[in-house]
Chain A
């Protein structure tokens, strides 16, 4: 692997995580849409909401990660993709807005009817977004995005057999992932009825997704011959086989009610498909543009890789903490009986006279160094003094209301 391949690998890992994590979020929305009315339907919709609410924001940030890494490392490819595929990109953005808004608004609902409306709207967006994003992947994979500012066809670039296939597969896979996760959550909450329902849904969605994926190979064979040949050779073929095996294993695990293990094999199935696509297309990014040609300069790549790795050192432990808390049920909706017992103590009587004088001194120093003086170092100290003024002044003036 060359240096210029590394950011692409990051992007693909981010994409896989996005599909696995946010896909489950969209899938939960799909199950909300088809839950139907009545108390049973409401139970399903509530369960889907409460399982996803603590993590959905973190899940969706993966997409932003993929976008920023791509435009930093492969700017010309990103520009071409975004301009030719502006319509599906726009649709996906709309879907994400609506989904996020629904999460924000759900907290304020009070009547069942309001809740129903919000769930329905957000759930419709949950079908639209994975489909649009999948159709974009299909467009790139079937070589319909040429290099240049809006050089490709505005519609046929993403409305074609391969795009429709990948879009449909994305929706089916989302529903499948979500059903597996929600069944696992229901098991943890000891909700037998919910577990039974989501198990049935997981099995059905898994069969559909598998059928679409296998049938899809025929579509790819007819529509995107190059991609097909890439997929049935070498490492890519390995990815396809791993994906099929992982998919079949997941179905078996769901059948055996081993949902926790099924979470991971389902994720593996998705990741393997993305890896297979990447290997099938390597080393071409867009028609006539190799990864090497598209890559940014050496320094930018190094800085980006360092930033991503350094970020990862902070990010992954944090994510692990979040998911551990969620999976252990620590953030569950059900109220827990652990009242807060604050330590005893009284706010120390603030020496507000002294603090006030310090604040005044900081303000004067800040004014002198920032406004009157001209040297950069004086400005730096001046700004620091002004911040110190705000901090000390706040402690001096806030007091007991």
Chain B
């Protein structure tokens, strides 16, 4: 259930991380140039941000309810360890809510400079909020800062547990960049679809270039950061890495399997690249990589789910990085946008694909941690609520989310259709 809630909430988080910064950039361009086009663009994006934030408030509230509803034992045992993170997150959320209120309702009512300044805390709060939540998740993956005795957490040092955790940094950077990739490709994808349908004025080009440039730069960087994250996982959660790769036995000079399906202790139908896994994980082609056999079968995650999610994330991430590189080369070498219709088709597809990669990445880390809720300390089944009637709650909530999703699509379409308030017609300049 929480899985569903997170899957709905995460894309909104991405927009919370990256969208305010993009809007502020556009507003800054407006302040510098006085060009009405940037003003129009910033205002329209602001409306989208406000609608998405409202939905984010809802899903975020639900998540905090669920911490109690679904995992009372988890919160009861470890609330003192990780709760601080959520308390800070709550403040960030607060700041975001306050300044989004000012920013959204303050267009044309505050002086341009004060209005711009009111947007800055939104971007900062989006960052600190995600920082603390990821700190909690990093702690669940790599718990520290407490001593467990008789089912109670003692000697709790919440600061060390949350922020002195080596697992935090790569997760944070990975997620933060993912925020920019997802937001960039989704927003750019919308305008790429517009281009395919023949809407291609200066306004649309601007609205495409800004998010696409950010995403195109962030996607190749994500490949490097992802590789770093995988090396951290190899050291701190070897079983998770073994699940990523479908590695049954501890092996020296382990091979990498691309695609394929794990069954009976080996990957079938995959493409084998000898020694690559050892090289990637430990920078040594002959290093020993721990296999699934290091823990009993009951303590292994569902291999194929994790492996499939991991491969989907890596595969899509690589494609996005390639797309980004092509765009950058054309943009920098030829000083123009790519002209091929296939490029715009690819960008249009990159939006939904980046969302798939995002959720696959989340599945990779969360399902990869199973059966633990706190890695090596508490099993998920020990944390779950004893209250009955949970399936009814599941069903209702799923329906609600469906309704919310339909509502979001509906309102975004409405906002997209409302006419542009531009001083001069822009579509006339098509093709230039």
List A contacts of B50 (CB < 8 A).
104, 107
Interface flag for A325 (CB, 8 Å): yes
Interface flag for B199 (CB, 8 Å): no
B365-409 CB mask vs A (1 if < 8 Å, else 0) is 000000000000000000001111100010010001001100110
* A397 touching B331, Cβ below 8 Å: yes
- Contact check: which of A53, A67, A342, A389 meets B217 at CB < 8 Å? A389
Known interface pairs A79-B68, A100-B57; A68-B87 also in contact (CB < 8 Å): yes
Interface flag for B347 (CB, 8 Å): no
List B contacts of A78 (CB < 8 A).
68, 72, 75-76, 79
B contact residues, range: 35 or more
List B contacts of A339 (CB < 8 A).
108
List B contacts of A154 (CB < 8 A).
387-389
Bound-state CA distance A79–B88 (Å) is 20
Bound-state CA distance A383–B172 (Å) is 11
Bound-state CA distance A97–B60 (Å) is 10
List B contacts of A349 (CB < 8 A).
none
* A401 touching B337, Cβ below 8 Å: yes
Bound-state CA distance A366–B221 (Å) is 9
List B contacts of A149 (CB < 8 A).
72-73, 76, 385-387
Bound-state CA distance A98–B415 (Å) is 20
* B335 touching A58, Cβ below 8 Å: no
* A104 touching B68, Cβ below 8 Å: no
* B51 touching A61, Cβ below 8 Å: no
Interface with A: B204-212, B260-268, B285-293, B312-320, which one? B204-212
Bound-state CA distance A53–B121 (Å) is 20
List A contacts of B90 (CB < 8 A).
61, 64-65, 68-69
Task: Choose among A69, A297, A356, A389 the residue with the greatest number of B CB atoms under 10 Å from its CB.
Answer: A297
Interface flag for A150 (CB, 8 Å): yes
Interface flag for B58 (CB, 8 Å): yes
Interface flag for A307 (CB, 8 Å): yes
Question: Smallest distance from the beta carbon of A317 to chain B beta carbons, Å?
Answer: 10
Known interface pairs A83-B72, A331-B106; A318-B58 also in contact (CB < 8 Å): no
Known interface pairs A150-B386, A314-B95, A370-B224; A104-B54 also in contact (CB < 8 Å): yes
Bound-state CA distance A118–B129 (Å) is 30
* B32 touching A108, Cβ below 8 Å: no
Interface flag for B197 (CB, 8 Å): no
- B 58-86 contacts with A by CB, 8 A: 58, 60-62, 64-65, 67-69, 72-73, 75-81, 83-84, 86
* B101 touching A322, Cβ below 8 Å: yes
Give the number of residue pairs across the A-B interface with Cβ within 8 Å.
328
* B95 touching A315, Cβ below 8 Å: yes
Bound-state CA distance A340–B35 (Å) is 12
* A97 touching B58, Cβ below 8 Å: yes
* B69 touching A90, Cβ below 8 Å: yes
Bound-state CA distance A258–B47 (Å) is 36
A contact residues, range: 35 or more
Interface flag for A39 (CB, 8 Å): no
Question: Smallest distance from the beta carbon of B180 to chain A beta carbons, Å?
Answer: 7
Known interface pairs A108-B411, A307-B88; A330-B68 also in contact (CB < 8 Å): no
Known interface pairs A346-B33, A366-B224, A383-B169; A64-B93 also in contact (CB < 8 Å): yes
Bound-state CA distance A105–B60 (Å) is 18
The chain A residue with its CB closest to the CB of B280 is A371
Bound-state CA distance A75–B153 (Å) is 11
- The majority secondary structure among interface residues of chain A is helix
- A 362-401 contacts with B by CB, 8 A: 363, 366-367, 370-372, 374, 376, 379-380, 382-383, 386, 389-390, 393-394, 396-399, 401
List B contacts of A6 (CB < 8 A).
none
A88-125 CB mask vs B (1 if < 8 Å, else 0) is 01101110111011011101101000000000000000
- Contact check: which of B57, B65, B335 meets A57 at CB < 8 Å? B57
A36-63 CB mask vs B (1 if < 8 Å, else 0) is 0000000000000000011101101101
List A contacts of B64 (CB < 8 A).
64, 67-68
Interface flag for B343 (CB, 8 Å): no
List A contacts of B154 (CB < 8 A).
297
Question: Smallest distance from the beta carbon of B377 to chain A beta carbons, Å?
Answer: 15
Bound-state CA distance A340–B114 (Å) is 12
Known interface pairs A72-B86, A80-B76, A86-B387; A296-B68 also in contact (CB < 8 Å): no
* A75 touching B76, Cβ below 8 Å: yes
Bound-state CA distance A281–B57 (Å) is 32
* B55 touching A345, Cβ below 8 Å: no
- B 158-186 contacts with A by CB, 8 A: 158-159, 166, 169, 173, 177, 180
Question: Smallest distance from the beta carbon of B326 to chain A beta carbons, Å?
Answer: 13
Closest 8 CB pairs of A and B: A72-B83, A82-B68, A75-B79, A79-B76, A296-B80, A104-B54, A108-B411, A79-B72
Given contacts A379-B169, A394-B213, 13 further A-B pairs with CB under 8 A are A54-B101, A54-B105, A64-B90, A71-B86, A78-B72, A78-B76, A97-B400, A100-B55, A300-B81, A319-B94, A321-B102, A331-B101, A340-B39
B contact residues vs A (CB 8 Å cutoff): 29-34, 39, 47, 50-51, 53-55, 57-58, 60-62, 64-65, 67-69, 72-73, 75-81, 83-84, 86-91, 93-95, 97-102, 104-106, 108-110, 112, 121, 153-159, 166, 169, 173, 177, 180, 202, 205-206, 208-210, 213-214, 216-218, 220-221, 224-225, 227-228, 283, 328, 331-332, 335, 337, 385-389, 393, 396, 400, 403-404, 407-408, 410-411, 414-415
Can you sample 17 A-B contacts with CB below 8 Å?
Answer: A61-B57, A68-B89, A72-B83, A75-B79, A82-B385, A86-B389, A93-B62, A94-B400, A104-B55, A311-B87, A341-B112, A342-B31, A343-B112, A397-B213, A398-B209, A398-B210, A401-B205
